[in-house]
Amino acid sequence: MGIVLGANEYGKAENRLVRIHRDTARHEIRDVTVSTALRGDFSAAHLVGDQSRVLPTDTQKNTCYAFAKSKGLGEIEDYALTLARHFLDTVEPVTGARIEVAEFGWDRVEVGGSGHDHTWVRRGSEVRTTVVTVDGDGARVQSGLRDLVLLKSTGSEFAGFLVDEYTTLAPTHDRIMSTSLVAGWRYGDASVRGAGIAWDTTWADVRRILLERFATVHSLALQQTLWEMGRAALQAHPEIAEISLSAPNRHHFPVDLEPFGLANENEVFYAADRPYGLIEATVTRD
Amino acid sequence: MGIVLGANEYGKAENRLVRIHRDTARHEIRDVTVSTALRGDFSAAHLVGDQSRVLPTDTQKNTCYAFAKSKGLGEIEDYALTLARHFLDTVEPVTGARIEVAEFGWDRVEVGGSGHDHTWVRRGSEVRTTVVTVDGDGARVQSGLRDLVLLKSTGSEFAGFLVDEYTTLAPTHDRIMSTSLVAGWRYGDASVRGAGIAWDTTWADVRRILLERFATVHSLALQQTLWEMGRAALQAHPEIAEISLSAPNRHHFPVDLEPFGLANENEVFYAADRPYGLIEATVTRD
Amino acid sequence: MGIVLGANEYGKAENRLVRIHRDTARHEIRDVTVSTALRGDFSAAHLVGDQSRVLPTDTQKNTCYAFAKSKGLGEIEDYALTLARHFLDTVEPVTGARIEVAEFGWDRVEVGGSGHDHTWVRRGSEVRTTVVTVDGDGARVQSGLRDLVLLKSTGSEFAGFLVDEYTTLAPTHDRIMSTSLVAGWRYGDASVRGAGIAWDTTWADVRRILLERFATVHSLALQQTLWEMGRAALQAHPEIAEISLSAPNRHHFPVDLEPFGLANENEVFYAADRPYGLIEATVTRD
Amino acid sequence: MGIVLGANEYGKAENRLVRIHRDTARHEIRDVTVSTALRGDFSAAHLVGDQSRVLPTDTQKNTCYAFAKSKGLGEIEDYALTLARHFLDTVEPVTGARIEVAEFGWDRVEVGGSGHDHTWVRRGSEVRTTVVTVDGDGARVQSGLRDLVLLKSTGSEFAGFLVDEYTTLAPTHDRIMSTSLVAGWRYGDASVRGAGIAWDTTWADVRRILLERFATVHSLALQQTLWEMGRAALQAHPEIAEISLSAPNRHHFPVDLEPFGLANENEVFYAADRPYGLIEATVTRD
């Protein structure tokens, strides 16, 4: 039984890139982190150190920066598709390319009641993401977000659960529910081929739906909330094939104030770091 | 020459506390991290391990949570002053108490065009801070912010600087200027005694001034921008005695695209992590 | 086309657990972070919020701590297998359980030339890992390590690579090669069933082999080094079915000192944070 | 009452620098992060943006790298003193310079029982530090360490403490004591002037003493342990004027296993992240 090379890929991770569009006095900004990964037959590089089929990761980095100028950097999905197709089409050994982009939001600084032309303040920790894979089977686009921190101070229960000999948790009909949401939705293959997707507006609308459902669903469990969030996104957007949600349950424990003669009616909480529940679900179409 | 105990203090750091005000269906949230530190004669604890004058850090933690209920948690400066005075007034060995509070902002989730009653999304990485010290000399309040990330895409120069044999930097008359601002302003003693300070509105107004000056000052150097920001804050707020600003210069380097036949007219930048310039200045009154 | 629930799982992540064995005056320590994840038919929890088949994540946490006492916590693979089998065997809806354990090393503090009985110093950032999955098909064990930071100051080349119009990198025949290695090796199914694997000694030996090969292979590319590391591990350990290696290329760039009249013959380097090359490969058996 | 510029300084922070000494086949490595800060009369830069007295932070960075070649990089205290004196002596407006160096340890990879010539593995998270300040009053050197994580599984009590109405903590005569130590010791002025200090060996010996005292002192409180550690360092090293210790109390709470019919005799602990006690003390000479 021989020893052989299995799956492998390589690329340049976390290229930090800021693109300023300054054709007029009112500048626009796109702030992204781009990672590339190439697949193909790179066995010679592994087995005998022959690099003749290996495009350096430094070159991949250069390409990210050059394309931000020559092709522009608008919607991150378009930018990633262009990069991925370039590597697939022009680099002979490459049979598949995956481009990941994380975008950081900026708001214009308010000066005298209106947004300044060329000064911004970072919007927050939330990050918009896309992962684009292009290979012989076509293009796959999964867009989403991460680090979207949500909290509701009521409208969440957890009761009627399975009990075994290691269960000490008391059921509750009113608790804080909080998460740092990671969401990724995959666009249908036909939609991507058709290239008719309005990436920015779709992204904003899915985000709006996720937030609204998180707020308005009376939650019997985080699982139920995730399902309702995902279902609503799919109902509103036929161009989306499926959505995956990963939600850490950021526990907020009511502090026992009885020793101090105080009643704590869900008013004072200890926000714990670890451990945390982790609930993950995909909502799809059959 | 003997060996003696010098300065010492102890407390409970980073108590994570969320306070929900839920007297009506429209909840309010305050999300803070509180740290306590007590000073006094604790030499017996050090020299012979005698704890009889040491209030446990666990008790300090309990007090933070209990006060969030019994005294309320509104403006963080008031909360911190109440805690500090409590330790000074009721714990015999304590001669000084320092309370640090970091507050994280939340925005109401928009549902159908208006903010939801009990659901929020984290505003961002920016943190509001206060450090309150109370001892025999009275109370000292330094409020501020950190992790306020700003960027301007033009209106910033750096030229005419001192040159020595290790200087290779080229002067520039148009560059990106970006920072992750830390600011702390100390309120005048008389103002704190008078207790007439509107902590929340003053904080918001100082933040507004800092942002506006960052945007509108045509900058010949980050030093100049900091000076103008601090000066404007002091001019508008006589209750502030001095302000300290610490500004990492988050370098954004234009990428050389000439090897690819492209001109880069301050459009495509590499955002560097380290090293970074670090400019620190205090603006005060004479 | 209906909307349906897809893949889902849930558990308690990052339970921080320290186990002291203190049967004699010479204590032993195991310091781990444990994460659990359960799979099964939890559709009712998602679709209608019915928790009657959901064992709380709090219970999973309790089980981790209780088993550390009742079953002991020695080799982390045994501990994880015991936990996974417990959830599969005793919790009716569970059809699969995945347990991840990260172990942090401690060395005894030296006192007068020998290791102290009950005092330790943390060994470093390196972490030993295992991921154990048990379901109807049996048990799968993938052990490994992460954050193992390596550097060689010579014996590494990168030349003869593919060049396109975006390539500016110069070839080099002597460079620093450094990585923060992530490795995971999967034990063969028969070996796991046989339960005859000496987890601790195998782990230590694979680690030794990886380090030695990193040191002694004259590297024409990081890909080649990874292949040689993986191949040597498989050659020495027939109980291992395959090994996956993920290696960020922590770039160390020679600083240009010529402007200062100094020659830099690979002596002074700037250690960059981002971007970094990322090379990933699996070595397996055919 | 006018508004004036107060204290200010500027420099280049966190220059990542690796120095390889390769005069023989057996290489040596020094891996440091260097930060510079300059003080002087930089009021024109602040008040009117005049940079003519400002040596760029980029130049300071260049100097760090150039000196690592031209002056060498051996003991970090010597390197920092040389840099600080250079800025003070050669840059006209500079009246004070502070250089901070953090050094990361590497161990040689073992190959066939002996340390490899040019391959290393990172020693761990522990960092050696120095802060050197040179101004008109001379040189001040404070060396130390941070992120030294220690744990003892017995030999630590906490009882007999002050109790108030917010105290719920139970006294204990056997607990885990763990910390992530930060220590900084200042060398006496005369010693620094005399330049006769063996920086590396002194550092190693102080570290040894701190570890041994942490292990061997039966602790009635973390305060007592810190005092004994500091006192022992001063007793052994007359060249040290004072030592400051900052010790987060990394709480390890015994898990209540009684609900599961198990006794937990200080064997199974939950290692908490936050909050943590924070004990700080300086031991000095009178």
Query: Is A57 a catalytic site residue?
Result: yes
- By C-alpha distance, the chain B residue nearest D218 is B49
**Which residue from A94, A20, A21 is spatially nearest to A60, judged by alpha carbons?**
A94
pLDDT tens-digit readout, C163-222: 999 999 999 999 999 999 999 999 998 777 766 899 999 999 999 999 999 999 999 999
Whether the CB-CB separation of D62 and D9 falls below 8 Å is answered with no
- For the domain C9-136, what is the CATH code? 3.10.270.10
Indicate if the pLDDT at residue D164 is higher than 90. yes
Which pLDDT band holds residue A1 (cuts at 50, 70, 90)? low
Query: Which of the residues C163, C169, C260 would you substitute to probe the B interface, choosing the one with the greatest number of B C-beta atoms within 10 Å?
Result: C260
- By C-alpha distance, the chain D residue nearest A166 is D260
Task: List CB contacts (< 8 A) between D255 and chain C.
Answer: 65
Q: How far apart are CA A149 and CA B226, in angstroms?
A: 32
**Can you give the three-state secondary structure of chain D, one letter per residue?**
CCEEEEEEEEEEECEEEEEEECCCCCCEEEEEEEEEEEEECCHHHHHCCCCCCCCCHHHHHHHHHHHHHHCCCCCHHHHHHHHHHHHHHHCCCEEEEEEEEEEEEEEEEEECCEEEEEEEEEEEEEEEEEEEEEECCEEEEEEEEEEEEEEECCCECECCCCCCCCCCCCCECCCCEEEEEEEEEEECHHHHHHCCCCHHHHHHHHHHHHHHHHHHCCECCHHHHHHHHHHHHHHHCCCEEEEEEEEEECCEEECCCHHHCCCCCCCEEEECCCCEEEEEEEEEEC
Query: Which of the residues D164, D168, D237, D283 would you substitute to probe the B interface, choosing the one with the greatest number of B C-beta atoms within 10 Å?
Result: D164
Please tell me if residue C89 touches chain A, with a CB cutoff of 8 Å.
Answer: no
Span C268-279, mean pLDDT?
98
**Residue of A61, A152, A237, A251 with catalytic role:** A251
Please tell me if residue D17 touches chain C, with a CB cutoff of 8 Å.
Answer: yes
Task: List CB contacts (< 8 A) between D31 and chain C.
Answer: 271
Please provide the average confidence, as pLDDT, over all residues in chain C. Answer: 97
Kindly report the nearest CA distance between residue C231 and chain A, in angstroms.
Answer: 7
- Coil, strand or helix: which one is C80? helix
Q: Determine, for residues B66 and A17 on separate chains, whether the beta-carbon distance falls below 8 Å.
A: no
Task: List CB contacts (< 8 A) between C260 and chain B.
Answer: 165-166
DSSP letter string, A232-281? HHHHH-TTEEEEEEEEEE--EEEP--GGGT---SS-EEEE--SSEEEEEE
The chains found to touch D (3+ Cβ pairs under 8 angstroms) are: A, B, C
Strand-strand pairing, B276-285 and B240-249: antiparallel
Q: How far apart are CA B8 and CA D246, in angstroms?
A: 10
Token pair belonging to C135: 């379901």
Query: If you search the block for the tokens 């075994």, which residue do you land on?
Result: A164
Token pair belonging to B207: 């933040």
Tell me the residue ranges of DSSP E strands in chain A. Answer: 3-13, 15-21, 28-40, 94-111, 114-135, 138-152, 177-187, 240-249, 252-254, 268-271, 276-285
* From-to residues of CATH 3.10.270.10 in chain A: 9-136, 147-286
Token pair belonging to B56: 């446990």
Q: Out of C165, C260, C274, whose CB is closest to B273?
A: C274
- Coil, strand or helix: which one is B203? helix
C237 Cβ neighbours under 8 A, 6+ residues apart? C185, C202, C205, C206
Q: Does domain B9-135 have CATH number 3.50.50.60?
A: no
Q: Distance between alpha carbon A84 and the CA centroid of its chain, in Å?
A: 19
Q: Does domain D137-286 have CATH number 3.10.270.10?
A: yes
Query: If you search the block for the tokens 């640090």, which residue do you land on?
Result: B100
Query: Is C57 a catalytic site residue?
Result: yes
Angle between helices D76-90 and D57-70 (to 10 degrees): 130
Q: Determine, for residues B3 and D285 on separate chains, whether the beta-carbon distance falls below 8 Å.
A: yes
Kindly report the nearest CA distance between residue B142 and chain A, in angstroms.
Answer: 23
Residues 38-57 on C with a CB inside 8 Å of B are none
- By C-alpha distance, the chain C residue nearest D68 is C268
pLDDT tens-digit readout, A220-248: 999 999 999 999 999 999 999 999 999 99
Which pLDDT band holds residue C88 (cuts at 50, 70, 90)? very high
Note the pLDDT of residue C191.
Answer: 73
pLDDT tens-digit readout, D180-200: 999 999 999 877 776 689 999
Note the pLDDT of residue B163.
Answer: 97
Cα distances from B257 to residues A178, A236, B30, in angstroms, run 45, 43, 48
Please tell me if residue D252 touches chain C, with a CB cutoff of 8 Å.
Answer: yes
* From-to residues of CATH 3.10.270.10 in chain B: 9-135, 137-286
Token pair belonging to D57: 């932070």
DSSP letter string, B58-83? HHHHHHHHHHHHHT---SHHHHHHHH
Q: How far apart are CA A274 and CA B207, in angstroms?
A: 33
Query: Which of the residues C122, C128, C266 would you substitute to probe the D interface, choosing the one with the greatest number of D C-beta atoms within 10 Å?
Result: C122
Query: Is D71 a catalytic site residue?
Result: no
Please tell me if residue B224 touches chain D, with a CB cutoff of 8 Å.
Answer: yes
Q: Is the pTM of this model over 0.90?
A: yes
Q: How far apart are CA A138 and CA A134, in angstroms?
A: 6
Please tell me if residue C2 touches chain A, with a CB cutoff of 8 Å.
Answer: yes
**Residue of D33, D57, D59, D82 with catalytic role:** D57
Task: List CB contacts (< 8 A) between C269 and chain D.
Answer: 17-20
Q: Out of D54, D223, D244, whose CB is closest to B10?
A: D223
Task: List CB contacts (< 8 A) between A165 and chain D.
Answer: 260
State what percent of residues in chain A have pLDDT above 90.
96
Whether the CB-CB separation of A268 and B68 falls below 8 Å is answered with yes
Q: What is the DSSP letter of A156?
A: B
Token pair belonging to A215: 């707020």
The CATH label, of 3.30.70.260, 3.40.50.740, 3.10.270.10, 3.40.50.2000, for the domain at D10-135 is 3.10.270.10
pLDDT tens-digit readout, D47-75: 999 999 999 999 999 999 999 999 999 99
**Which residue from B223, B239, B217 is spatially nearest to B285, judged by alpha carbons?**
B239
Single-letter amino acid, residue C68: A
Q: What is the DSSP letter of C259?
A: G
Provide φ and ψ at C210, rounded to 5°.
Answer: -60, -45
Token pair belonging to C275: 């971007």
Which pLDDT band holds residue A196 (cuts at 50, 70, 90)? confident
Q: Determine, for residues A65 and B268 on separate chains, whether the beta-carbon distance falls below 8 Å.
A: yes
Q: Out of C4, C161, C227, whose CB is closest to A284?
A: C4
**Residue of C152, C237, C251, C252 with catalytic role:** C251
Beta bridge partners, A111, equal A114
What ipTM was assigned to the predicted interfaces of this complex? 0.96
Whether the CB-CB separation of B160 and B127 falls below 8 Å is answered with no
Cα distances from C242 to residues C132, C194, C196, C228, C284, in angstroms, run 15, 18, 18, 13, 4
**Residue of A27, A33, A57, A86 with catalytic role:** A57
**Residue of D61, D152, D237, D251 with catalytic role:** D251
Indicate if the pLDDT at residue A191 is higher than 80. no
Task: List CB contacts (< 8 A) between D112 and chain C.
Answer: 212
Please provide the average confidence, as pLDDT, over all residues in chain D. Answer: 97
All residue ranges of chain B with pLDDT < 70 are 1, 194-195
Please tell me if residue B258 touches chain D, with a CB cutoff of 8 Å.
Answer: no
Q: How far apart are CA A204 and CA B107, in angstroms?
A: 17
Whether the CB-CB separation of C242 and C282 falls below 8 Å is answered with yes
- By C-alpha distance, the chain C residue nearest D272 is C16
DSSP letter string, B88-129? HHHSTTEEEEEEEEEEEEEEEEEETTEEEEEEEEEEEEEEEE
Task: List CB contacts (< 8 A) between B186 and chain D.
Answer: none
How many Cβ atoms from other residues are within 10 Å of residue A246's Cβ? Answer: 18
Task: List CB contacts (< 8 A) between B168 and chain C.
Answer: 259
Q: How far apart are CA D34 and CA D157, in angstroms?
A: 40
* From-to residues of CATH 3.10.270.10 in chain D: 10-135, 137-286
CATH architecture of A147-286: Roll (3.10)
**Which residue from D214, D226, D224 is spatially nearest to D158, judged by alpha carbons?**
D224
Please provide the average confidence, as pLDDT, over all residues in chain A. Answer: 97
Summary count for chain C: helices (H), strands (E)? 6, 11
Q: What is the DSSP letter of C260?
A: G
Note the pLDDT of residue D166.
Answer: 98
Whether the CB-CB separation of D49 and B224 falls below 8 Å is answered with yes
Q: What is the DSSP letter of B169?
A: P
Chain A to chain B Cβ contacts (< 8 Å):
196
Q: What is the DSSP letter of C27?
A: -
Catalytic residue numbers of B, as ranges: 12, 57, 251
Please tell me if residue A165 touches chain D, with a CB cutoff of 8 Å.
Answer: yes
Provide φ and ψ at D149, rounded to 5°.
Answer: -95, 120
- By C-alpha distance, the chain D residue nearest C66 is D257
Angle at B208 between CA B207 and CA B212, to 5 degrees: 120
- By C-alpha distance, the chain A residue nearest C231 is A3
Helices in chain B by DSSP H: which ranges? 43-48, 57-70, 76-90, 189-194, 199-216, 222-236
Q: Determine, for residues D68 and C268 on separate chains, whether the beta-carbon distance falls below 8 Å.
A: yes
C84 Cβ neighbours under 8 A, 6+ residues apart? C97, C98, C99, C132, C133, C134, C139
Task: List CB contacts (< 8 A) between D209 and chain C.
Answer: none
